[in-house]
Amino acid sequence: MTILKHEFRQGRTAFWIWTGVISVMLSVCVFLYTEVRGEMDAVTNLFSSFGSFTAAFGMDRLNFGTLEGFYAIECGSMLGIGGAFYAAITAVNMLSKEESNKTADFLLTHPVSRRRILSEKLLAIFVQLTLMNLIILGMSLLSIIVIGEPVPWKSLLLLHFAYYLLQLEISGICYGISAFVRRGSVGIGLGIAVLLYFVNLISNLSESASVLKFFTPFAYCDGADIITTGSLDGPKIAIGAGACLAGILAAWFHYDKKDIT
Amino acid sequence: MEAIRTDKLTKSYGKARGIIDLELTVEEGEFFGFIGPNGAGKSTTIRTLLGLLSPTSGAASVFGMDIVREKEGILRRVGYLPSEAFFYPKMRVRDLLKFSADLRKTDCSAEAARLCERLQLDTERKIDELSFGNRKKAAIVCALQSKPDLLILDEPTGGLDPLMQREFFDILQERNREGSTIFFSSHVLSEVQRNCTRAAVIRQGKIIACDSVSGLAKAHAKRVTIHGSVDLSRLPDIKDKQTGSGSVSFLYNGSMPDLLRCLSSGQITDLTVAEPDLEEVFLHFYEEEDAK
> Distance (Å) from the C-alpha of residue A168 to the closest C-alpha of chain B?
26
Binary contact (A113, B71; C-beta < 8 A): yes
| B-chain residue closest to A5, CA distance | B99
Give the mutation candidate from B13, B99, B144, B183 for the A interface (greatest A CB count, under 10 A). B99
Confidence at A163, pLDDT banded by 50, 70, 90: very high
Closest CA to B249 of B225, B228, B232: B225
What length does chain A have?
Answer: 261
Q: Determine contact, residues B22/B34, Cβ cutoff 8 Å.
A: no
ipTM of the assembly? 0.88
Rounded to an integer, what distance in angstroms lies between the CA atom of residue A160 and that of residue B187?
60
Which neighbouring-strand residues pair with B13? B16
* DSSP collapsed to 3 states, chain B: CEEEEEEEEEEEECCEEEEEEEEEEEECCCEEEEECCCCCCHHHHHHHHCCCCCCCEEEEEECCEECCCCHHHHHHHEEEECCCCCCCCCCEHHHHHHHHHHHCCCCCHHHHHHHHHHHCCCCCCEHHHCCHHHHHHHHHHHHHCCCCCEEEEECCCCCCCHHHHHHHHHHHHHHHHCCCEEEEEECCHHHHHHHCCEEEEEECCEEEEEEEHHHHHHHCCEEEEEEEECCCCCCCCEEEEEEECCEEEEEECCCHHHHHHHHHCCEEEEEEEECCCHHHHHHHHHHHHHHC
Torsion of CA A218, A223, A229, A235, to 10 degrees: 10
**To 5 degrees, how large is the angle CA B273–CA B274–CA B277?**
150
| B-chain residue closest to A114, CA distance | B72
Rounded to an integer, what distance in angstroms lies between the CA atom of residue B188 and that of residue B42?
13
Give the mutation candidate from B10, B52, B183 for the A interface (greatest A CB count, under 10 A). B52
What is the average pLDDT score of chain B? Answer: 89
A108 touches chain B (CB under 8 A): yes
**More confident position, A45 or B225:** B225
Which residues of A, range 225-244, sit inside 8 Å of B by Cβ? none
Which residues, at least 6 apart from B256, have a Cβ–Cβ distance to it below 8 Å?
Answer: none
| B-chain residue closest to A3, CA distance | B103
**Partner residue facing A10 (CB), from B88, B100, B103:** B88
* CATH number of the structural domain B222-275: 3.30.70
Binary contact (A111, B73; C-beta < 8 A): yes
**Partner residue facing B52 (CB), from A3, A112, A260:** A260
Phi and psi at B237, nearest 5°, equal -105, 40
Rounded to an integer, what distance in angstroms lies between the CA atom of residue B34 and that of residue B36?
7
Confidence at A41, pLDDT banded by 50, 70, 90: low
Binary contact (A261, B90; C-beta < 8 A): no
A14 touches chain B (CB under 8 A): no
Q: Can you give the pLDDT at residue A46?
A: 67
- The CATH class of the B2-216 domain is alpha beta
Q: Can you give the pLDDT at residue A237?
A: 95
**Neighbour count for residue A156 (Cβ, 10 Å):** 21
Rounded to an integer, what distance in angstroms lies between the CA atom of residue B44 and that of residue B202?
11
Binary contact (B99, A108; C-beta < 8 A): no
Confidence at A37, pLDDT banded by 50, 70, 90: confident
Within chain B, all domains assigned CATH 3.40.50.300 are found at 2-216
Q: Which amino acid is at B80?
A: Y
Binary contact (B52, A2; C-beta < 8 A): no
Q: How far is CA B168 from the centre of its chain?
A: 15
Rounded to an integer, what distance in angstroms lies between the CA atom of residue B242 and that of residue A260?
45
Structural domain boundaries in chain A: 2-257
Phi and psi at A183, nearest 5°, equal -150, 170
B104 touches chain A (CB under 8 A): yes
**Partner residue facing A259 (CB), from B13, B89, B142:** B13
Q: Can you give the pLDDT at residue B193?
A: 84
Q: Can you give the pLDDT at residue B116?
A: 96
Binary contact (B86, A101; C-beta < 8 A): yes
Q: How far is CA B27 from the centre of its chain?
A: 15
Pairing of strands B247-252, B238-244: antiparallel
Rounded to an integer, what distance in angstroms lies between the CA atom of residue A39 and that of residue B50?
67
Size of interface A-B (CB pairs under 8 A): 65
For residue A23, pLDDT beyond 90: yes
Which residues, at least 6 apart from B37, have a Cβ–Cβ distance to it below 8 Å?
Answer: B187, B203, B286
Q: How many CA atoms lie within 13 A of B175 on its CB side?
A: 28
Binary contact (B104, A10; C-beta < 8 A): no
Each residue's pLDDT tens digit in chain B (292 positions)?
Answer: 899 999 999 999 876 678 999 999 999 999 999 988 888 899 999 999 999 999 999 999 999 999 999 999 999 999 999 998 899 999 999 999 999 999 999 999 999 999 999 999 999 999 999 999 999 999 999 999 999 999 999 999 888 899 999 999 999 999 999 999 999 998 877 788 889 999 998 888 999 888 888 777 666 678 899 998 888 888 887 878 888 888 899 888 788 888 888 888 888 899 998 877 666 766 665 555 555 5
| A-chain residue closest to B68, CA distance | A257
Binary contact (B103, A10; C-beta < 8 A): no
Phi and psi at B33, nearest 5°, equal -100, 145
Chain A CB contacts of B89 below 8 Å: 101
Strand, coil or helix: A63: coil
Within chain B, all domains assigned CATH 3.30.70 are found at 222-275
Binary contact (A101, B103; C-beta < 8 A): no
Which residues of B, range 71-100, sit inside 8 Å of A by Cβ? 71-73, 75-76, 78, 80, 82, 84-90, 99-100
Q: Integer distance in angstroms from the first to the last C-alpha of chain A?
A: 26
Q: Sheet harboring B2-13: ordered strands across?
A: B16-27, B2-13, B57-62, B65-66
A259 touches chain B (CB under 8 A): yes
Which neighbouring-strand residues pair with B7? B59
> Distance (Å) from the C-alpha of residue B179 to the closest C-alpha of chain A?
21
For residue A67, pLDDT beyond 70: yes
Binary contact (B84, A2; C-beta < 8 A): no
Q: Determine contact, residues A55/A205, Cβ cutoff 8 Å.
A: yes
For residue A235, pLDDT beyond 80: yes
